[in-house]
């Protein structure tokens, strides 16, 4: 019985390893076959495990790559529903909202928009889900950090129509650069207009000033006319200053280039500023370096500083602290979006700061526009800062502005530093003399009134005058009277294609020693149409009075008579 009980359990668990299912003995061959099958299955399982491991590694690698591309992309990725509820976004998208990603999931985009822009965004969102032609939408995001960011949404809707996926790009810097470009283009356009107006106005002023000089020399006029003439002379001078400011803004004002110390120029202004601005202002003068050599027009740089100080006085209401600082700075890279004018090199910097009322961003963006002013009517022309900008840009520099309401204003302008001061090579011109008998001037001026007035003024000085209104007419006069003409006095801008300088060059081909005076209200930079140093002319800045006209003409004639230069004649300046 005990033996039977031991065998019974073995039957319940299946046949023995050395038996088949029917109880027959297992042959050695069958055992080997079973073992081989087990080994094959084991290898298959190992291969399947390896495939699974490789597949899992590939999935993990793909997920890591997706996460890297998604969360470290240079733009924001948003997924949201039709009502604007955020379903998913990447880390840059969260940064655009100024908070962590987990805190914005499930919230609507509407809550992150400026209030005045929500309606426009809702309309764009509805159009996007309604199947309208895809287009970008620019709006402003206000995140939890309260920093406004201009962004552009570009979205596509999923096939199900329930979700939209959008690329969101921060375009704040781009919009600022576009605004700066528009401002620059606007200022260039205004500058061209200002230069054109100043040119025509200078002709009118020149005629007025010459006529006033003529009347002033008339001893037959009643004594009661003297104060009237004096007032008119003063008004003409004020008008001349206004046109000069316009030309400075349009960068067409003549520059008297020479090397000088910027610190010395500022120190020279301090006493004058105290007299002009008043004693109620506290003046602070700081110079970081004792010597700042630059090259330019001293008078215009000084005027630019005075304009900034006058602007500071008005902003402070006549009392406060005015700080003028000079220093040298070096930039080692080109312009940045924050300051597009910056370039590499060493520059002298002048900073003018005040403790006044400051300016809003809107006012700051317009202060350099000509005729823009926040002062009451009759209290300012709106040309001070615009002419300052023109002067600084003429000197190859730029201006920056920092201001905030209630915190004052600071202007900084930068000018290239010179390696070393150069010697002043300008020669002293002889004083004006009396007109010699039979000296003849060929006068060319397209403005009829100015032509007539100049003719009378020159004849009153004792000269004989031959006149013409344009280049071709002047060449005709020259062909008939070349042997008689001692000097050519011509306007630069005339109708037709021939300028005053081109007329002079044609005449110089047959008479290379003929002295030439070119009149213009623009800067003499527009006169350098030929190779540098080949233009032998004197320059007469419009508007001018009789004394200036007499001086320039007599000096030009005296120079040629004294030196008899070879062609081309040397460049002379009044």
| Mean pLDDT, each 10-residue run in order, the chain (574 residues) | 45 52 71 82 82 75 65 85 89 86 86 87 89 82 82 88 89 82 70 69 83 79 78 76 62 67 88 78 88 86 86 85 92 63 85 89 77 52 69 87 88 86 41 60 91 90 92 93 92 85 91 89 52 58 87 85 48 36
Total length of the chain? 574
CB 99 within 8 Å of CB 147: no
Pairing of strands 137-142, 148-157: antiparallel
3-state secondary structure of 209: helix
Alpha helices in 97-135 (DSSP H): 118-129
Ramachandran quadrant class, 373 (left: phi over 0; alpha: psi -120 to 50; beta: rest): beta
Q: Residue 349: its pLDDT value, please? A: 93
Distances (CA, A) of 213 to 98, 146, 230, 443: 71, 66, 10, 19
Contact present, 430 and 552 (Cβ < 8 Å): no
Say how far apart CA 566 and CA 71 lie, in whole Å: 76
End-to-end CA distance of the chain: 146
CB 476 within 8 A of CB 530: no
Q: Does domain 76-170 have CATH number 3.30.450.20?
A: yes
Cα-Cα-Cα-Cα torsion 178, 179, 184, 189, nearest 10 degrees, comes to 100
Determine the Cα–Cα distance for residues 130 and 112; give it in Å rounded to an integer: 23
Token pair of 258 as six digits: 């020479």
What's residue 334's pLDDT?
Answer: 61
| Euclidean distance between CA atoms 218 and 212, whole angstroms | 10
Element (H, E) at 10: helix 2-12
Angle in degrees, 0-180, between the axes of helices 298-316 and 262-277, rounded to the nearest 10: 40
Q: Which CATH class is domain 440-563?
A: alpha beta
* CB atoms inside a 10 Å sphere around CB 441: 25
The topology under which CATH files domain 258-416 is: Heat Shock Protein 90 (3.30.565)
CA angle 43, 46, 48 (to 5 degrees): 110
The DSSP H or E segment spanning 65 is helix 28-71
User: Which residues, at least 6 apart from 563, have a Cβ–Cβ distance to it below 8 Å?
Assistant: 570
- Cα 242 to Cα 204: distance, rounded to the nearest angstrom: 13
344, 331 in Cβ contact below 8 A?
yes
> For residue 179, what pLDDT is reported?
77
Phi, psi of 146 (to 5 degrees): 65, 20
What whole-number distance in Å separates Cα of residue 393 and Cα of residue 255? 12
Give which of 242, 227, 232 is closest to 208, Cα–Cα: 232
pLDDT at 516: 92
- Residue for token pair 């073992």: 35
Tokens 């004052």 correspond to 408
3-state secondary structure of 530: coil
Q: Which segments of 462-503 are extended strands (E)?
A: 464-468, 485-491
Can you name the residues that pair with 325 across neighbouring β-strands? 286, 351
According to the model, what pLDDT value does residue 153 have? 93
d(CA 7, CA 301): 121
CB atoms within 10 A of CB 526: 14
| β partners of residue 350 | 326, 413
Q: How far apart are CA 445 and CA 207, in angstroms?
A: 12
Helix (H, G, I), strand (E, B) or coil at 409: strand
Rounded distance between C-alpha atoms, residue 86 and residue 100, angstroms: 13
List the one residue out of 110, 114, 111, 68 whose CA is nearest residue 92.
68
Token pair, residue 137, equals: 């939408």
Task: Round to whole Å and give the CA distance between 530 and 510.
Answer: 18
| pLDDT of the residue at 532 | 33
Tokens of 90: 């990447």
Token pair for 202: 């200078």
pLDDT at residue 476, as a whole number: 93
Residues facing residue 409 across a β-bridge? 354, 403
């Amino acid at each position: 019985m005990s033996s039977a009980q031991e065998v019974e359990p073995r039957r319940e668990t299946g046949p023995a390893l050395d038996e088949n299912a029917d109880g027959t003995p297992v042959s050695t061959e069958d055992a080997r076959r079973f073992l081989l099958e087990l080994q094959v299955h084991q290898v298959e399982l190992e291969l399947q495990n390896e495939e699974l491991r490789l597949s899992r590694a590939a999935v993990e690698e793909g997920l890591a790559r997706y996460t890297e591309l998604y969360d470290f992309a240079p733009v924001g990725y948003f997924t949201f529903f039709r009502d604007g509820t955020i379903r998913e976004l990447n880390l840059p998208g969260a940064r655009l909202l100024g908070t962590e990603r987990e805190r914005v999931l499930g919230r609507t985009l509407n809550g992150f928009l400026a209030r005045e822009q929500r309606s426009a965004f809702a309309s764009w969102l509805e159009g996007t889900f309604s199947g309208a032609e895809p287009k970008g939408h620019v709006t402003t995001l206000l995140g939890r950090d309260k920093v406004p960011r201009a962004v552009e949404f570009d979205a596509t809707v999923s096939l199900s129509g329930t979700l939209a996926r959008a690329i969101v790009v921060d375009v704040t810097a781009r919009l600022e650069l576009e605004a700066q470009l528009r401002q620059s283009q606007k200022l260039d356009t205004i500058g061209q207009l200002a230069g054109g107006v100043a040119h025509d106005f200078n002709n009118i002023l020149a005629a007025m000033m010459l006529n006033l000089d003529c009347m002033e020399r008339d001893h037959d006029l009643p004594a009661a006319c003297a104060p009237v003439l004096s007032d008119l002379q003063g008004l003409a001078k004020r008008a001349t200053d206004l046109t000069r400011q316009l030309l400075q803004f349009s960068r067409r004002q003549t520059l008297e280039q020479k090397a000088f110390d910027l610190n010395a120029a500022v120190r020279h202004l301090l006493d004058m500023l105290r007299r002009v601005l008043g004693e109620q202002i506290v003046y602070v003068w700081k110079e970081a370096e004792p010597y700042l050599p630059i090259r330019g027009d001293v008078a215009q740089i000084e005027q630019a500083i005075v304009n900034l100080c006058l602007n500071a006085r008005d902003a402070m209401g006549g009392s406060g602290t005015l700080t003028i600082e000079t220093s040298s700075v070096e930039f080692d890279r080109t312009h940045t979006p924050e300051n597009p004018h910056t370039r590499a090199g060493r520059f002298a910097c002048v900073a003018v700061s005040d403790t006044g009322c400051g300016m809003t961003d809107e006012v700051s963006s317009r202060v350099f526009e000509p005729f823009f002013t926040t002062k009451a009517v009759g209290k300012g022309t709106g040309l001070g800062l615009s002419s300052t900008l023109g002067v600084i840009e003429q000197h190859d520099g730029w201006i920056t502005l920092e201001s905030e309401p209630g915190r004052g204003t600071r202007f900084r302008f930068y000018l290239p530093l010179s390696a070393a001061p150069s010697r002043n090579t300008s020669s002293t011109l002889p004083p004006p003399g009396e007109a010699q008998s039979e000296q003849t001037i060929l006068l060319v001026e397209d403005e009829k009134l100015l032509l007539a007035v100049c003719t009378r003024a020159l004849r009153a000085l004792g000269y004989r005058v031959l006149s013409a209104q344009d280049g071709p007419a002047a060449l005709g006069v020259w062909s008939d009277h070349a042997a008689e003409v001692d000097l050519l006095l011509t306007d630069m801008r005339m109708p037709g294609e021939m300028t005053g300088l081109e007329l002079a060059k044609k005449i110089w081909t047959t008479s290379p020693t003929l002295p030439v005076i070119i009149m213009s209200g623009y800067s003499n930079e527009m006169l350098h149409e030929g190779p540098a140093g080949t233009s032998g002319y004197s320059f007469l800045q419009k508007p001018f009075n009789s004394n200036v006209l007499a001086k320039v003409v007599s000096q030009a004639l005296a120079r040629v008579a004294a030196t008899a230069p070879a062609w081309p004649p040397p460049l002379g300046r009044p």
